[in-house]
Amino acid sequence: MAADALEVLLDGRRIGLITALGGDQSIFSFDDDYADDPDRPTLSLSFKGERGGLLRNHRPTQTRLMPVFSNLLPEGALRDYLAQRAGLKPMREYPLLEALGPDLPGAVAVRPVGEGPVDEDHDDDQHDDGAAGQGPLRFSLAGVQLKFSAVEKAQGRLTIPASGRGGDWIIKLPSVHFRGVAANEYSMMRLAKAMGMEIPDVDLVPLDQIEGLPEGIGKFEEDAFAIRRFDRRADGGRIHIEDFAQVFGVYPGDKYDKGSYRYLAKVLWLETGEPGVREFIRRLVFNTLIGNTDMHLKNWSLIYRDGRTPELSPGYDFLSTTVYIPDENAALKYARTKRMDEFSLDEVVYMAARAGLPEALARDAAAEAVDRFHDIWRAERAHLPLADDVVAEVERLLGVVPIARAR
C-alpha cells in the first residue's frame, strides 16, 4: 500500500511533498520555507522562472510523476528488474519512487511522511533483504543497462550492499547483446580523460571480484565496467545533480526527440559561462569522432557542488555505439543536422550563433578538441583494450566526419 504522501528531501532538508490524489494521480508542491528562502539549494533549473524566481504552480500527473522526479527512476530492464523485486508495476511511478527513494541519483531522497530519517550508515550486511533475499534492491540509477551500486572494500574488491544503498561505485554488467561493451566504454573514458575532460575513476572488474551480485541475472564471461559515483562525497555525503531531461522538463521516453545540442549549449552558456561551453564542445567533438550516437538528454548532466551553482558534471556513458549499430545520426540534432557525416566546423559555428554564444569561442574549442583527439588517439589507442573492430570504426569516422579535418 503506497503512502498517502512522500516527503522530498534535498541534501537532508525537506523541500516539498508529493501527494497521492487517488486514481493513480499525484501532485508535487514546494514547502513555503524552502520557496521563501533566498539562499535555497537548487532542485532543478526546470523550476526557474524567466525572472529567476521559483515556479510553484504544478499540475497533477497521472501514473507518471512530473519529469524532474520521473527521471530519477531507472528505465528499461533495470526498472523491470527492480519493480519485480519490489512487487510493483513498472509503469506506476509513485510507489516505485517510494520504494527506491532512499538512494536516488544526486542529493534527492524521498520517504513517506512521518517516517524517520533515512539511515545510510547502517550495516547492510546485517540486513539481507536484497541480493540474496526476497526484498527489493533499494536504489535507483537512471538508465537502461542493468547496473548496481557498489561499495569499495579491502584489496580493491567491490561489494553490492544487500539493501543497494550507500554505494560509491556503479557497476555495469556486460551486455547480453553486444560483445566488448565494458572494454569499449572503459577505453573511451580513458581517452576522454587523456584529452583533459573531467572523468571519474573507471575500471574493468572481473565478475568474481564483485560480491553480492543477485542471483537470476544471467551469466557473463566478460568483465564488468565500474565507474566511481560523482554524486557521492568521500565521506558518504551527497552532491546534487540533474540531467538535461530534467532541466528541459522532458520525460525519459522523449530523451532523443525534445532537445538539441544547440539548446544544451544555450543553457550552459547562460548558467556556466565559458568553462561549461568549452567542455561541452570538447565532449561533443569527442563523442562524434568515436561514433557515440547515444548522447541523448540523459547523458548530459549538471552538478551542484555548492548546492546552488550549476556546472557541467563529469563525463559518463562515453563509448563507440556505431560499431554495434551502424547509424550516421547523432542522438540529438547539432543545429541544422543530426548526421555525423555533416558535422563540420561550420556546423559548430552555426550552432554557437543560434545558441547566442561567441562564435570564436566555439570555433577555437572545436578546433582544439580535434587536434587533441588526433594526438591522443595515436598515442593511447595501442595501450587500451580496444577491439580491432572498434579501432577500425573510429578510423573510418576520422575519414568521413568533416570536423575531423578541421586541424
- Write the CA distances from 111 to 99, 122, 190, 296, integer angstroms: 9, 17, 38, 30
CA distance 354 to 367: 19
CA distance 2 to 21: 11
Name the β-bridge partners of 14. Answer: 9
Q: Answer for the pair 211, 251: CB distance below 8 angstroms, yes or no.
A: no
Cell readout for 148 is: 548496481
Cell readout for 310 is: 550549476
Cell readout for 235 is: 565521506
3-state SS of 104-171 is CCCCEEEEECCCCCCCCCCCHHHCCCCCCCCCCCCCCCCCCCCEEEEEECHHHCEECCCCCCCCCEEE
Q: Answer for the pair 185, 386: CB distance below 8 angstroms, yes or no.
A: no
In the chain the first and final C-alpha atoms are separated, in Å, by 61
| 204 CB neighbour count, 10 Å cutoff | 15
Strands 210-211 and 158-159: parallel
Three-state secondary structure call for residue 229: coil
- Say whether 294 is catalytic: yes
Cell readout for 15 is: 523541500
Q: Answer for the pair 288, 330: CB distance below 8 angstroms, yes or no.
A: yes
Cell readout for 156 is: 580493491
Catalytic residue among 243, 294, 327, 375: 294
Return all residues near 224 (Cβ < 8 A) that are at least 6 apart: 171, 172, 173, 174, 182, 204, 205, 206, 207, 210
Cell readout for 304 is: 551542484
E strands, 224-354, in order? 224-228, 240-243, 301-304, 311-312
CA distance 263 to 1: 41
Three-state secondary structure call for residue 61: strand
Task: Give the catalytic positions in this structure.
Answer: 294
